[in-house]
Amino acid sequence: MIDNRYVEISNLVKAYPNPFGEEIRVVDGFNLTMQKGEVIGVIGHSGCGKSTVLTMVAGLNEISDGGIVVAGKEIDGPGPDRAVVFQAPCLLPWMTTFQNVMMGVKQVYPHASKQQRRVIVEYSLSVVGLADAMHKYPREMSGGMQQRVGIARAIALKPKVLLLDEPFGRLDSLTRMELQDVILGILDREKITTMIITHDPDEAIFMCDRICMMTNGPHARVGQVMSIDFERPRNREEIMETDEFYQYRQRLLQFLDDCEAEKHGKGPIRFDQPTEPAVVQVG
């Protein structure tokens, strides 16, 4: 049997102390496996624990219980095998685009020659469409351009896993769509295993191979996982003309509505999947 578990998140728990000093498990028993090259979306209501899960996978947030294995190795902190893109790229304002990307490359490739590093940085900036803006400073660029630098900075590290935490959250809808296409182009070429957090069902359907729907917190975990069976490369207009797109969307919205109802005491809704949750097939 082929072992497809490239990323394995097992019984993941995150507990934070509340103001009374009690430990509250915001995430409790989160299980998910990701295949190599797979793009997984994580969707759920605000505050359910999506970023908490992502930052634990990134190694930036201590794990209270359970574990995360990436490419056969249990993680115990951040590493260049996992690159993160947050909502805001946090570029150093006194450095050019080129220098901002080079900074991470120097750390990850300490033994590469100057010329090799330059090629990596230039390539990463060109794939996000910034070949002509390498020497601009952040203040000279739009929010969308700055976010492109953040993406270039992440892919320049050649990570095993790319973690995107609402990367388009601050962008207008046109720029958002442009950047979705940029990322999809990169993922189609480089086949990087990717987790993307989003609030936007359309974005999740367009970009992902599977969408993991999280239950409400506290004690949030995976409620359902839905496979998105559109072939790649994907064309936005073509996908949006299919019946399946609207069925997927309906399924996601229904889940979010059910979570909302449960929050207001209209549940309980049954999300009982103790280990790997059931995969929902639409169509």
Ligand X SMILES: Nc1ncnc2c1ncn2[C@@H]1O[C@H](COP(=O)(O)OP(=O)(O)OP(=O)(O)O)[C@@H](O)[C@H]1O
> Is residue 62 helix, strand or coil?
coil
The alpha carbon torsion through 117, 119, 121, 123 (nearest 10 deg) reads -150
Choose, by CB under 6 A, the member of 8, 28, 50, 63 that binds ligand X: 50
What's the closest the beta carbon of residue 7 comes to ligand X, in angstroms? 18
**CB-nearer residue toward ligand X: 44 or 277:** 44
Which residues is 9 bridged to in the sheet? 32, 68
What's the closest the beta carbon of residue 262 comes to ligand X, in angstroms? 15
DSSP H or E stretch at residue 101: helix 97-108
144 binds ligand X (CB under 6 A): no
275 binds ligand X (CB under 6 A): no
Q: 101: how many CB neighbours lie within 10 A of its CB?
A: 30
**CB-nearer residue toward ligand X: 121 or 163:** 163
Residues in CB range of 54: below 8 A, 6 or more apart: 42, 84, 163, 165, 195, 197
Binding piece for ligand X, criterion CB under 6 A, among 40-48, 69-77, 101-109, 124-132: 40-48
Residues 165/188, Cβ–Cβ less than 8 Å: no
**CB-nearer residue toward ligand X: 42 or 207:** 42
Between helix 114-127 and helix 173-190 the angle, nearest 10°, is: 130
How many residues bind ligand X, per CB under 6 A? 11
Choose, by CB under 6 A, the member of 9, 48, 121, 145 that binds ligand X: 48
What's the closest the beta carbon of residue 75 comes to ligand X, in angstroms? 18
Q: 204: how many CB neighbours lie within 10 A of its CB?
A: 26
Binding piece for ligand X, criterion CB under 6 A, among 45-53, 113-121, 222-230, 245-253: 45-53
Residues 282/251, Cβ–Cβ less than 8 Å: yes
What's the closest the beta carbon of residue 51 comes to ligand X, in angstroms? 3
CA–CA distance, 20 with 104 (Å, rounded to integer): 40
Length of the chain: 283
52 binds ligand X (CB under 6 A): yes
**CB-nearer residue toward ligand X: 159 or 217:** 217
Binding mask 213-252 for ligand X (x = CB under 6 A): ----x-----------------------------------
Choose, by CB under 6 A, the member of 19, 46, 115, 283 that binds ligand X: 46
What's the closest the beta carbon of residue 198 comes to ligand X, in angstroms? 9
Report how far apart the first and last C-alpha atoms of the chain are (Å, whole number): 28
- Amino acid of residue 183: I
Kindly list the distances between the CA atom of residue 96 and the CA atoms of 103, 146, 152, 222, in Å, as whole numbers in the listed order.
11, 11, 13, 41
Binding mask 19-38 for ligand X (x = CB under 6 A): -------x------------
User: Site residues (CB under 6 A) for ligand X?
Assistant: 16, 26, 44, 46-52, 217
